[in-house]
Amino acid sequence: DVEMTQSPLSLPVTLGQPASISCRSSQSLVYSDGNTYLNWFQQRPGQSPRRLIYKVSNRDSGVPDRFSGSGSGTDFTLKISRVEAEDVGVYYCMQGTHWPRTFGQGTKVEIK
């Protein structure tokens, strides 16, 4: 299985400050069709996960533009430009290139 390693696992952030989460894969996530199937999800407390980003950097409809995704190959980043209270939760990366699909361990974002 492709291992997805997130860091940090816990991220205390001051409101209005930026936050950054890293996700590294044990193999390249570039698929034979040229696409890189790296996704980011947000899970707020008590809620189902919600997709934020797909194919590395494509933001879902309704996702605030303070969220951005970047990276290539095996190294990816989710950035929040200015953290708001509603951003508290756990963030997961997931690769959709290799079978089986795999998630990172999750990064818990909390307000300092």
Other beta carbons within 10 Å of 85 = 7
Binding mask 83-112 for other proteins (x = CB under 8 A): -------x-x-x-xx-xxxxxxxx------
The reply on whether position 7 binds other proteins by CB under 8 A is no
Identify the residue among 13, 21, 23, 41 touching other proteins (CB under 8 A).
Answer: 41
The reply on whether position 43 binds other proteins by CB under 8 A is yes
Residues in the site for other proteins, rule: CB under 8 A? 1, 31, 35, 37, 39, 41, 43, 48-51, 54-55, 60, 90, 92, 94, 96-97, 99-106
